[in-house]
Chain A
Amino acid sequence: MAERSAVTRSSPCRSNSCRDTGRPLDDVSAESAAAPEFGQSLIYLLHDVVKTRQAEGVAFRLRVPNLRIDRGEKIALIGESGCGKSTLLDMLAFILQPSSAGAFRFRPNGDGEPVDVNAYWKRDKINKLGDMRKRHIGYVMQTGGLLPYLTVRDNMNLCRSVLGMKRDGTVEHLAEELGIASHLGKLPDALSTGERQRVAIGRALAHRPAIVIADEPTAALDPYAAQKAMSLFIRLAEESNSTVILASHAWRHIKELGLRRLSHRTRRSKDRKLTETVVRG
């Protein structure tokens, strides 16, 4: 049941249903409401965040009228490629600047003032954003993103060593859990795609970040390996009490893992010049 609803709710951009919603695409204000309070357990609060991209006369717009992510939540963003999942994840990881934002707040720890991410972007403080990402966020890339000149151990230890964390067996423990302990001394080239992806998962978790963001971490794996890697990832993230934000194109791989699904809708304008995805949750 869940799978079918996924298809209807996050319908692919090419489907006809995109166009018969009858509401003009540029009507943003209809959904805008006053920015809600920043609760104690909130990590992310996004309000009217828009990212527009233009390429060869075709525009793509991602719109987030409201998004609240609580500490310890496990969020899933399901949809076909090209619908804007990566765009949202990149904005949440501070590696992509929103085109405009009503509010974009981030508070990795329960205490202290929430950080105004958009203000940092506007003042070009990408090093400040980088510092926050370094400390609080682990990122699993779709294609691993391992450094080919570092051994598996050093790749997994990269975030830790950048933070100046001592070697305390965390990397070895994670490698054990991920089933790559025997590869620690090898270079990524010597590993299979699946193994490399598990190294990438290990790297994102090794410095025990408050938030782990994963962009299609298992897209390159066969369905069986993907399911296994995904449940391993979620379990390890749970062990370290991390908040998980996950993008995937296949709900059936993760429906048993207890994730909260963000609803999103993709539509295309009549002249096919503008594609818009609206995410809320």
Chain B
Amino acid sequence: MVAALRKVFGLASRDYVHEWQMSGCFVLALAAVLGPMMVLFGLKFGIVGAMMEQLIEDPRNREIVPVGSGRYDGAWLEGVRAQPEVAFLVPRTRSIAATIELGSQRSSRIVPVELIASDHGDPLLSPHDALPEGLTRVVLSRSSAEKLDVGPGDTLDGSLARRFRGRQERVHLPLTVAALAPERAFSRDGAFVSVQLLEALENFRDGRAVPELAWDGVPPDAERTYPGFRLYAHSIYDVAGLRDAFAGLGIDVRTRVAEIELVRRMNRNLTAIYWAIAVIGMVGFSLSLGASLWANVDRKRKQLSVLRLVGFRTMDIVWFPMVQALFTAILGWALAVSIYYVTAWMINDMMAAQVEAGQQVCRLLPLHYAIALALTCGAAVVAAGLAGLRSARIEPSEGLREL
């Protein structure tokens, strides 16, 4: 059995090499269909993928911002945070109190920055970087880091002032740059800080004491309320539901529901268009591959009958065209990949100016190459197998007398 298969493999290979011109034509024909299809998919994956990633995955689309200021206590915020649709929630202090002036050793400038409440799991920050923590560790926005000429690990001098009991007071506190926020997280001068630090700064400005930093003042209230919060839904699909829930509580929120709907509709339409092209392409590809392999088996019917005459079994004979179809599939795929590589390189080179650094207009994952190979081999084996079976089924004498 194995010996017969090896024999058939050897014969099929020798025939394939012997007919190299014909084999080359089949390989070219296959690559001519598969190559452009791979470019098309590369474009779909590159463009649509990047766009969808940008639009769907951009956390700003999942943000829900309460309009105006309210009075939310800790327990209520805990309850909202526990909702399954909520991915991230952190309380905000009054924005007028959420600023600080920063100085560094390397820069002579004093930069006033906005402070953004942050915590673990902040969707605007990279999960791989260090997070703002405690009263000292902050994450700077790019623009403020540039102005201060600092990077992760550097120290900063934070200072803020208040009028307390009739006199101007200024305090300094040492801060450490834990990390830099991604470019798109915050475009102005800003710093992501812990709620604890924000509360301390607000307390100081309100004339309350901050024992942790040895700042003097009146004792703070027992129950703290927050004027707002930063909230991100789990996915863009949860935003509309959360907006309605807040509206039910009488809280006006600002969302990007309209933009999300636009994106979703565009995604649906583009996906539909690409699927239509993909299905048409795949059907055409399978038909062209199947037809050429089928015709090839018909052409070789007499030779296959000779194999039958010298005693090869039905399955061995079916393997003969299947082995050759596999050669065509693998070589055609390899050629198509080369075509794709050259084309994709040219497209990406041409479009490099229009897209963000590191982004590619035309790109495929290794998985896509594997899928293309598997589909090609599958279609080839099925077509050649069916044709081979048909050839093996006809009475051997008929095949021998043909031509």
| Interface residues in chain A, defined as those with a beta carbon under 8 Å from any beta carbon in chain B | 86, 90, 93, 95-97, 126-127, 130-131, 133-135, 139, 141, 145-150, 158-159, 161-164, 187
Which chain A residue has the least Cβ–Cβ distance from B315?
A: A127
Top 9 closest A-B pairs, CB basis?
A134-B311, A149-B18, A90-B397, A95-B396, A96-B397, A149-B15, A95-B397, A127-B313, A149-B14
Q: Chain B residues near A158 (CB, 8 Å)?
A: 310
Give complex CA distance A93, B310 in Å. Answer: 11
Q: Chain A residues near B274 (CB, 8 Å)?
A: none
Chain A interface: which of B193-201, B301-309, B344-352? Answer: B301-309
Give the residue among B4, B15, B306 with the most A Cβ atoms within 10 A. B306
User: Is B313 touching A130 in the complex (CB atoms < 8 A)?
Assistant: yes
Which chain A residue has the least Cβ–Cβ distance from B401?
A: A86
User: For the complex, is B7 an interface residue (Cβ under 8 Å from A)?
Assistant: yes
Encoded as 1 (CB less than 8 Å from any A CB) or 0, chain B from 307 to 331 comes to 0111111100000000000000000
- Answer whether A130 and B308 are a contact pair too, CB < 8 Å, given A149-B18, A164-B3: yes
User: Is B401 touching A145 in the complex (CB atoms < 8 A)?
Assistant: no
Q: Which of A95, A97, A126, A149 contacts B19 (CB 8 A)?
A: A149
Give complex CA distance A145, B402 in Å. Answer: 11
Apart from A134-B310, A164-B3, what 4 extra A-B contacts exist at CB < 8 Å?
A90-B397, A93-B397, A135-B311, A141-B309
Encoded as 1 (CB less than 8 Å from any A CB) or 0, chain B from 12 to 29 comes to 001101110000000000
User: For the complex, is B395 an interface residue (Cβ under 8 Å from A)?
Assistant: yes
Q: How far is the CB of A169 from chain B (nearest CB, A)?
A: 21
User: For the complex, is B77 an interface residue (Cβ under 8 Å from A)?
Assistant: no
User: Is A95 touching B400 in the complex (CB atoms < 8 A)?
Assistant: yes
Give complex CA distance A130, B4 in Å. Answer: 13
- Which bracket fits the contact residues of B? 20 to 34
User: For the complex, is B11 an interface residue (Cβ under 8 Å from A)?
Assistant: yes
Q: How far is the CB of A187 from chain B (nearest CB, A)?
A: 8
User: Is B314 touching A127 in the complex (CB atoms < 8 A)?
Assistant: yes
User: Is A130 touching B312 in the complex (CB atoms < 8 A)?
Assistant: yes
| Interface residues in chain B, defined as those with a beta carbon under 8 Å from any beta carbon in chain A | 3-4, 7, 11, 14-15, 17-19, 302-303, 306, 308-314, 395-397, 400-401
User: Is A133 touching B18 in the complex (CB atoms < 8 A)?
Assistant: no
User: Is B314 touching A147 in the complex (CB atoms < 8 A)?
Assistant: no
User: Is A133 touching B19 in the complex (CB atoms < 8 A)?
Assistant: no
Q: Chain B residues near A161 (CB, 8 Å)?
A: 7
Give the residue among A139, A147, A163 with the most B Cβ atoms within 10 A. A147
Q: Chain B residues near A133 (CB, 8 Å)?
A: 309, 311
Q: List 25 A-B contacts (CB under 8 A).
A: A90-B397, A95-B395, A95-B397, A95-B400, A96-B396, A97-B395, A127-B313, A127-B314, A130-B311, A130-B313, A131-B313, A133-B311, A134-B311, A145-B400, A147-B303, A147-B306, A148-B18, A148-B303, A149-B18, A159-B311, A162-B7, A162-B310, A162-B311, A162-B312, A164-B3
Give complex CA distance A163, B401 in Å. Answer: 25
Q: Which of A93, A130, A135, A145 contacts B306 (CB 8 A)?
A: A145
Give complex CA distance A53, B400 in Å. Answer: 16
- Answer whether A96 and B395 are a contact pair too, CB < 8 Å, given A86-B401, A149-B15, A164-B3: yes
Give complex CA distance A150, B306 in Å. Answer: 13
Q: How far is the CB of B390 from chain A (nearest CB, A)?
A: 14
Give the residue among B4, B7, B397 with the most A Cβ atoms within 10 A. B397
Give complex CA distance A97, B313 in Å. Answer: 17
Q: Which of B4, B17, B309 contacts A145 (CB 8 A)?
A: B309
User: Is A141 touching B311 in the complex (CB atoms < 8 A)?
Assistant: no
Q: Chain B residues near A145 (CB, 8 Å)?
A: 302, 306, 309, 400
Q: Chain B residues near A93 (CB, 8 Å)?
A: 309, 397
User: Is A147 touching B15 in the complex (CB atoms < 8 A)?
Assistant: yes
Give complex CA distance A196, B144 in Å. Answer: 88
User: Is B306 touching A95 in the complex (CB atoms < 8 A)?
Assistant: no
Q: Chain A residues near B11 (CB, 8 Å)?
A: 147, 149-150
User: Is B308 touching A131 in the complex (CB atoms < 8 A)?
Assistant: no
Q: Chain A residues near B309 (CB, 8 Å)?
A: 93, 95, 133, 139, 141, 145
Give complex CA distance A141, B399 in Å. Answer: 12
Q: Chain A residues near B401 (CB, 8 Å)?
A: 86
Which chain A residue has the least Cβ–Cβ distance from B15?
A: A149
Q: Chain B residues near A130 (CB, 8 Å)?
A: 308, 311-313
Which chain B residue has the least Cβ–Cβ distance from A132?
A: B311
Q: How far is the CB of B301 from chain A (nearest CB, A)?
A: 12
Q: Chain B residues near A162 (CB, 8 Å)?
A: 4, 7, 310-312
Q: How far is the CB of B3 from chain A (nearest CB, A)?
A: 7
Q: Chain B residues near A150 (CB, 8 Å)?
A: 11, 14
Q: Chain B residues near A131 (CB, 8 Å)?
A: 311, 313
Which chain B residue has the least Cβ–Cβ distance from A187?
A: B18
Q: Chain B residues near A86 (CB, 8 Å)?
A: 397, 401
Give the residue among A86, A141, A159, A187 with the most B Cβ atoms within 10 A. A141
User: Is B400 touching A141 in the complex (CB atoms < 8 A)?
Assistant: yes
Give complex CA distance A139, B314 in Å. Answer: 19
Give complex CA distance A148, B19 in Å. Answer: 9
Q: Chain A residues near B400 (CB, 8 Å)?
A: 90, 95, 141, 145
Q: Chain B residues near A139 (CB, 8 Å)?
A: 309
Give complex CA distance A180, B11 in Å. Answer: 23
Q: Chain A residues near B7 (CB, 8 Å)?
A: 161-162
Q: Which of A96, A97, A148, A159 contacts B310 (CB 8 A)?
A: A159
Which chain A residue has the least Cβ–Cβ distance from B4?
A: A162
Q: How far is the CB of B175 from chain A (nearest CB, A)?
A: 79
Give complex CA distance A217, B224 in Å. Answer: 108
Q: Chain B residues near A127 (CB, 8 Å)?
A: 313-314
Q: Chain B residues near A187 (CB, 8 Å)?
A: 18
Which chain B residue has the least Cβ–Cβ distance from A96?
A: B397
Give complex CA distance A134, B316 in Å. Answer: 14
Q: How far is the CB of B304 from chain A (nearest CB, A)?
A: 10
Give complex CA distance A90, B401 in Å. Answer: 10
Q: Chain A residues near B14 (CB, 8 Å)?
A: 149-150
Which chain B residue has the least Cβ–Cβ distance from A90?
A: B397
Q: Chain A residues near B310 (CB, 8 Å)?
A: 134, 158-159, 162
Which chain B residue has the least Cβ–Cβ distance from A207?
A: B310
Give complex CA distance A164, B3 in Å. Answer: 9
Q: Chain A residues near B396 (CB, 8 Å)?
A: 95-96, 126
Give complex CA distance A150, B397 in Å. Answer: 22
